[in-house]
Structure 1
């Protein structure tokens, strides 16, 4: 059964507001909630970037049913992987096992703040692989001394672990990252509805499992929407808050500042944004856009409602009917 999630977008809302949205999203019926983990918003107009891990701790206590997840955390520059493992374990305990650790190779926008250089993509994947090895060992309860190319640990051990180990997901974008990470983690994260990603992931996991049946693996995607009763208001909001999205991840990973994203998106028009993000009150248009993900084989799809100003009204008026339409249209198995 396809599962539908709600995105706690730290770039566009303050921490108290996000906890309130998390509670209401659980009440309205979302299956899971994902949180971005940013030091900067994408654009100055978004105006927020609270610490995701404090937020997740609060949300874990304020909710009781929804699964929680980072979408995604970079465990290589701004954070040491041993510290990420400790944070993940603690949220796993606080949420009574509802937490999945989503990991990725990161963006310069959020990692440059600690004053380290921004590595090229190949090196970032090397760093991420070492980080996954460290995090997995620590979440399994090991006392770990590790001497890698990029990271070291000295007798590291986690003292508070959830009853069931925290599962890991990694963001992938192509065959190279799939072949590298599918054997190492539990679940896939991707931002584009490409069937070849899902097929490649399943094949890589099956090959790594050999004669054994590979464990079930979630395929978790995310899609922005800009719901509003007024289509023009929805389109303006999407352009103001989400025009950065037009650059694609090959661009988005390397720009270091909000000024850079503003300059890179200066020629993006509201109509350009509306062609890629469903804007307005038409819930059937949202269902059509989301369907590309389940048709590609995604099992979990998180919605991003664009703009803090529309968030509460979306949850109060549109989210429930939208979930009903999505569940009626999505595959049942």
Structure 2
């Protein structure tokens, strides 16, 4: 049966309120959670960006949910530090933590002052970082000289079982590449045929493990409010790569999204006041073979969404899956 979780958006919600939201989500029937890991939001309207790793310790302690995080090692984060962070959480909360690793976005990584590399360089850097993280989690002493440098690093606190390292992909090409090293794959909602190609690319290349999907959605009591929320909060997020990879500040995203229409937002966010429509969308994703689906309501207030989906949507999906 497909696992339904909540996505905690650090770039939109204060961490204290986000912690309240995941506690509420567990009580409402969500059985998993994941979060973003940003240094800055996509828009000044979103207005937050707390440190995910501090929050994850609190969230794992406050709930019984398994948690994941999407992370980009190699520039803002040294891979040895990420290995230590992953190892500590997995040691404290066995079987409840995973990390998805990707190549990142300039909006988070430019803060180091280092040059933002070409995509192929970022991909190679991520592959080196994955190997470093895996070796450290396996208890090895690691030295490495390449796109990342490591000198005699060793993790002294490690979990009994290394947690899964998931590949993050939004294209068929990246999905095929992730199959070389990842314990699973996570992507974001897109037209069903495109998602099918991503899934087929990963599995066809020998990709193993879980398939996870993050679903951007906007729900409110009426259609106009659902559309307003989506446009207000998520219109800076409609741009496909490489634009979304290469812009550096929230002001840049706000500048290029001034003319974005609600209809354009609805191409990347499932916008509806109809809970039945949301149920149908999610059932379509289930049928593509996704094992875990994480719901991200793009509004900043989460309680109404959590209560409505917990009461009306999740029970219907579970009944259909039996």
Q: Name the residue aligned to 2:210.
A: 218
Q: Name the residue aligned to 1:80.
A: 78
CA RMSD in angstroms, aligned pairs only: 1.7
Q: How much does 1:290 deviate?
A: 2.3
Partner residue of 1:257 out of 249, 260, 276 = 249
Deviation track 1:252-291 (CA, whole Å, cap 9, x = no partner) reads: 1111111111122111112332354233431111122223
Instruction: Say whether residues 1:277 and 2:275 are aligned partners.
Output: no
Unmatched 5+ residue regions in structure 1? 207-215
Q: Name the residue aligned to 2:160.
A: 163
Equivalent-residue separation in structure 2 for 1:79 and 1:36 (angstroms): 15
The normalised TM-score by structure 1 is 0.90
Moved over 6 A (4+): none
Structure 1 contact 228–314 (Cα < 8 Å) conserved: yes
Equivalent-residue separation in structure 1 for 2:227 and 2:176 (angstroms): 38
Q: How does 1:97-136 map to 2 (within 5 A)?
A: 97-136=95-134
Q: How does 1:291-310 map to 2 (within 5 A)?
A: 291-309=283-301
Q: Secondary structure at the match of 1:49?
A: coil
Instruction: Say whether residues 1:61 and 2:58 are aligned partners.
Output: no
Structure 1 contact 97–163 (Cα < 8 Å) conserved: no
Q: Secondary structure at the match of 1:42?
A: coil
Equivalent-residue separation in structure 1 for 2:246 and 2:117 (angstroms): 9
Deviation track 1:88-110 (CA, whole Å, cap 9, x = no partner) reads: 11111232320011111101111
The normalised TM-score by structure 2 is 0.93
Q: Name the residue aligned to 1:209.
A: none
Structure 1 contact 82–135 (Cα < 8 Å) conserved: yes
Partner residue of 1:321 out of 304, 312, 316 = 312
Q: How does 1:132-281 map to 2 (within 5 A)?
A: 132-147=130-145, 149-191=146-188, 192=190, 193=192, 194-205=195-206, 217-281=209-273
Instruction: Say whether residues 1:288 and 2:286 are aligned partners.
Output: no
Unmatched 5+ residue regions in structure 2? none
Structure 1 contact 229–280 (Cα < 8 Å) conserved: no
Equivalent-residue separation in structure 1 for 2:241 and 2:231 (angstroms): 18
Q: Name the residue aligned to 2:3.
A: 3
Q: How much does 1:232 deviate?
A: 1.4
Q: Secondary structure at the match of 1:118?
A: coil
Closer/same/farther in 2, CA of residues 289 and 16 from structure 1, 3 Å limit: same
Equivalent-residue separation in structure 2 for 1:227 and 1:181 (angstroms): 32
Deviation track 1:98-127 (CA, whole Å, cap 9, x = no partner) reads: 001111110111111111111111111000
Structure 1 contact 40–110 (Cα < 8 Å) conserved: yes
Equivalent-residue separation in structure 1 for 2:203 and 2:137 (angstroms): 24
Q: Name the residue aligned to 1:44.
A: 44
Deviation track 1:155-184 (CA, whole Å, cap 9, x = no partner) reads: 211111122211100112334423433121
Partner residue of 1:95 out of 78, 93, 96 = 93
- Number of residue pairs matched? 318
Equivalent-residue separation in structure 1 for 2:256 and 2:281 (angstroms): 25
